[in-house]
Amino acid sequence: MGVAVNRERIRVGNGCGFWGDQPDAPILLAQHGRLDFLTLEYLAELTMSILAQQRQRDPQLGYATDFLDVLERLCPLWRDQPNLRIITNAGGLNAISCAERACEIVRRHHLRKRIAIVVGDDIQPRLQELLASGHSLAHLDTGQPLETVIDRVVCANVYLGAQPIVAALDQGAELVITGRVADASLTVAPAIWTFGWSWTDWDKLAAATIAGHLIECGAQVTGGLFSDWTSVPDLANVGYPIAELEWDGTFRILRPESSGGMVTINTVREQLLYEVGDPSAYITPEVIADFTSVTLRALEPDGVEVRAAQGKPATETYKVSIAYKDGYICSGQVVLTGHDAADKARLCADIVRSRLHRAGYEPQEYNVELLGTGDTLPGIWPRTRPPEVVLRLTAWDPRRPVIERFAREIAPLVTSGPSGVCGYATGRPVVREVFAYWPALLDKSTIKPEIHMLST
């Protein structure tokens, strides 16, 4: 493995936690973060479904288009920071198209950069072959065989790890665009590449994995989504996180100077446990990291040092994210006012359901929410009788005509329901196709990632 430079410390900043995150964050982080690597994490399971819908409409799409806007704004900064490297999973389901567009942008700014495309995560064209060779791809939660939905699958991607990203950096890549990779691997890769760590140095790999997990959701570790939100200063200008990693696996979570937000032991603790099943065995493609092993030390004036991470050998499987067509859904809402607003809302919900029954269009699933009365916190918060209620109705069914009829039954409540109906000016709600999530496992031996290089 070729090592970048003989360094003992690198700064990796993550300027995006999901597709749709704050658009200025990557720019401000690159401006003020003194970074060696900027990561941009766009993908979630929901995002993959959205990208699949886009690709259905246009085969040239299927990637996080926001990244191209960010890259356009980053290029002037990149000229002044020629050693900055960018790693992103914005490629989604179409990393090649994303990279080609990125190449056009970089050229337009007269920058000479090497762009790497990591592919090999897309296994949808191979599903029949994999099933025939004995790989069940059974649903992780239910054990249901994939054959039951295979004719409705719209995308299937393994969570690749850091290895192909490291290989891309070895080939001189200054911008690495991937499809589906494990979120933390965007941080693990630059640490391995810079420090020359062994792929079996489990404790160091665990440390980089924990660092990646802490910064992968953007501002969540710097004060966003924090339970003690009243203590967070200047959330409007919250700084996005930096992981400053040492050769020995010690790292610090920081934020740019003069930015808002804060990094404390408690913000780190909360993010450490975010979306984690077993904190003693966090499974990634590189390592099984033990989140309970670390020690945290507060830094002055702001920041947290993380030490003593422990890890165990990685598993022999990749996690697989599969999305499949699963019927149609529609949500509509109106506002009810008055001292009896909640009663009016329940009557409206009954009216819609009764009219659907009368017309022979009963959806398989019909959900009623009275927002403002405690429906978002059932059994947690006391029920109230507010003077206004948002009634949100949702219906799902495998038959599109049923949901289309449901969408037409909301607006009539304005004149044929109880008094006090308002908030209907947005018109008829949209019927959407549902893509459901199917998690599975697949032997690593079946996957061979590839790297394609482009030059500007």
Model confidence pLDDT, tens digit, residues 359-385: 999 999 999 999 999 888 888 878 778
What mean pLDDT comes out for the span 47-65? 93
Tell me: do 56 and 205 sit in the same domain: yes
CB count in 10 Å sphere of residue 443: 14
Residues 245 and 379 in one domain: no
Please report the pLDDT score of residue 138 as a whole number: 98
> Which of 263, 296, 315 is where one domain is finished?
315
CA distance 119 to 52: 16
Q: Cβ contacts of residue 234 below 8 Å, gap of 6+? A: 259, 260, 261
Q: Which residue has the tokens 């019909």?
A: 366
How buried is residue 107: exposed, middle or buried, by Cβ count under 10 Å (0-12/13-18/19+)?
middle
Whether 254 and 386 share a structural domain: no
pLDDT in tens, 407-416: 999 999 999 9
DSSP for 304-339? EEEE--EEEEPPSEEEEEEEEEEEEEEEEEEEEEST
* Same domain membership, residue 329 and residue 310: no
Summarize pLDDT for 384-431 with one digit per residue, the tens.
789 999 999 999 999 999 999 999 999 999 999 999 999 887 889 999
Tell me if the pTM is above 0.85. Answer: yes
Domain carrying residue 221: 9-121+159-315
Residue 254 in domain: yes
pLDDT the model gives residue 4: 46
Q: So what's the pLDDT on residue 3?
A: 42
Helix (H, G, I), strand (E, B) or coil at 246: strand
Helix H or strand E encompassing 428: none
Alpha-carbon distance values, 416 to 149, 355, 409 (Å): 41, 12, 10
Q: Is residue 135 part of a domain?
A: no
